[in-house]
Structure 1
């Protein structure tokens, strides 16, 4: 028996969509890849982040803001249902700067975006002294920071676990170790996996991250996405050192400091390098000198999913109507929007968000 939706991809993006569809009474099957799959959900930085997004496309800034605003209720609902505390903190986040020139350039860009958003872009500039009052361990090389009040962070592994648990609790069918090799549409959709498993459904959502590079064209999508490697360092558990997250470092709810991440165009290579890790460590120590005494406990490399312009792609297939591509770089930030709002777009209701600027038409 088929389900209303078949979700290809069981990471944060796919499970967020599945969760939202189940909340609306749909039946859902989620097909998750094997352990050898590239998994951004397990290697990301865990930020719920608005700052700097949408500099060239204000709609992306708005979409990120909408999701960030929905995160608190979303996290609370998941915790109530599963008992998993997602470690969400939304008390703002920093863009740290080591020169007055880059700080001013960024402020100028933010003012342009703020005007396009009708003033809805709550940030303030902190000079070194003001920043030091907020972050006593900040280093002397940091000249200042932009504090954006819509930013925050969460525990991405607990988010993934809570979504998987709640999807199953609500009756969702989650099949793991399934590599999809083909999708056909003789009547409804027929999804074939490498191990011979066949799943049928009324609609299909392709949210397989980098897996869409191969599978997307079979469904009629351009799927012009690429991998970008991000290396990350983790320290031992420490007393409270960092009060708010930044793109350089954040202190996770369990006490460790997460340092990252690199931005490397190296294809499908998720290994770590001495050069990459040394650069991360040097920048983190420049920002927070106290970290020079911290012990490192692990590191990893993970692959981001990027479109040519860095924006999400939301597209229904013209060749196979009822098949949808949902892919983005910011799966954690956008998780709440994907769960709360994307089902209306997939169902084609009057409440569907306007996602036209994120279609593949922009790559024509």
Structure 2
């Protein structure tokens, strides 16, 4: 096609998922172009809590627990590699993470959850330990917990990172490995063209031998033309951040995390709000109330910003990885754990795309699972 750019692989979507896959492809020698909407995109990185999390993943799908643990194990080398290549550290830490229990009922519910997760995937995947309050206080010296806190689940494989620095590092690493990043050039349409695929963008047509759809909420509109399935739904999450304070919360939790610069992230909500990214007073109040129940001292911290974003979720909440049967060079990747899975996307998934075969370990994530009738 005259006038069209030619690449080995076009990745549609320059957010966390698309950038990690593209980076993994480019560092293995593929000529990659990333087609992105730019700063106006609905970036999950902006609403992401930055957790590299294992302990709550995979309930009902053990393959997801193992996939998550695989990524968490790869994250240390992945972060070091990005920092060395770009000078931008994703601020990755892996010292374990907590899920707080409120009341005896919450403690027993967490015990039941841990037993169920261990029965499904095996205790070696999670390594979860249920801590009573006294043990929690020894683990978190100096933190004053509220009277309702009865303990916490602790997972040694959990950690955290800075999602915005991660995305910045991925974009810088893409350029370092020769990839073309095209902001403000979203794919308006994609189609097979006999020898590969063409993406129509505001900057003109772009051709590639293979094409990966990782455009979040923009993926379903493009998938059908490539024989791909991309079932997803939006879920709004609200997050608040406080002013900078002295280091006081040594371990992250799903709902309370102190960042490397001293701010404290508080969150998050799970709302069916369509494509609305607005914040609500009710959502912010619920986040604040829960945080103060866990750590009453947080009531003195001044909130400086609140915002919301949209998670990319499949119908069952687990990732979808799909290789087109009609057009085998076309792939789709959908997930909401873009930070946690960044390392395995840049490693295992990128290798699978280059090998033109999704391995058996990814078979549980195929969209055909939604065709199986669910028990009443």
What TM-score do the two structures reach when normalised by structure 2? 0.93
1:319 paired residue number: 326
Does structure 1 residue 92 correspond to structure 2 residue 96? yes
Map residues 331-346 of structure 1 onto 2, 5 A cutoff. 331-346=338-353
Q: How far does residue 2 in structure 1 lie from its aligned partner after superposition?
A: 1.0
Corresponding position of 1:40: 44
User: What is the Cα deviation at residue 160 of structure 1?
Assistant: 0.3
Shift of 1:349: 6.4
Matched residue, 2:200: 192
Cα distance per residue 1:275-326 (max 9 Å; x no partner): 1001101111111111101111111101000001110000012233211001
Q: 2:349 & 2:259 partners in 1: Cα distance?
A: 29
Post-superposition CA distance 1:160-184 (Å, at most 9, x none): 0000001001100000012211111
Q: 1:12 aligns with which of 13, 16, 30?
A: 16
Deviation, structure 1 residue 352: 4.2
Q: Distance in 2 between matches of 1:182 and 1:351?
A: 25
Shifted more, 218-227 versus 206-215: the winner is: 218-227
How many equivalent residue pairs? 363
Cα drift, residue 212 of structure 1: 1.0
Paired with 1:205 and 1:351, the residues of 2 have a C-alpha distance of: 13
Q: Which runs of 5+ in 1 are unaligned?
A: none
1:227-282 Cα distance to aligned partner (Å, 9 max, x none): 10000000000111111111111001110000001000000001101110011011
> Is residue 124 of structure 1 aligned with residue 124 of structure 2?
no
Residue 84 of structure 2 corresponds to residue 69 of structure 1: no
In 2, are the aligned partners of 1:234 and 1:256 still within 8 Å (CA)? yes
Gaps in structure 2 of 5+ consecutive residues: 372-376
Contact 1:21/1:28 (CA < 8 Å) preserved in 2? yes
Of 36, 40, 52, 2:56 maps to 52
What does residue 291 of structure 2 align with?
284
Instruction: Give the CA deviation at 1:138.
Output: 2.2
Q: Tell me, yes or no, if the aligned pair for 2:71 and 2:343 is still in contact at 8 Å.
A: yes
1:1-364 correspondence runs (5 A): 1-120=5-124, 121-135=126-140, 136-187=143-194, 188-193=196-201, 195-348=202-355, 352=359, 354-364=361-371
Contact 2:323 2:358 survives alignment (8 Å):
no
Q: Distance in 2 between matches of 1:46 and 1:215?
A: 28
Question: What is the rounded CA distance, in whole Å, between the counterparts of 1:149 and 1:14 in structure 2?
Answer: 28
Q: Distance in 1 between matches of 2:104 and 2:329?
A: 51
SS at match of 2:181: strand
Asked if 1 retains the 8 angstrom alpha-carbon contact of 2:187 and 2:199, the reply is: yes
The secondary structure found in structure 2 opposite 1:345 is helix
Contact kept, 8 Å, 2:25 with 2:354, in 1: the verdict is no
- How far does residue 217 in structure 1 lie from its aligned partner after superposition? 2.4
In structure 1, how many angstroms separate the alpha carbons of the residues matched to 2:222 and 2:191?
12
> Cα RMSD between the aligned structures?
1.5
CA contact (8 A) 1:189 1:201 kept: yes
Write the deviation string for residues 130-155 of structure 1: whole angstroms up to 9, x where unpaired. Answer: 21222323222211100111111100
In structure 2, C-alpha distance between the alignment counterparts of 1:186 and 1:213, rounded to whole Å: 20
Q: Secondary structure at the match of 2:206?
A: strand
CA-CA distance at 1:22 after TM superposition:
1.1
Equivalent pair of 2:127/2:155 in contact (CA under 8 Å): yes
CA distance in 1: counterparts of 2:35 and 2:249, whole angstroms = 38
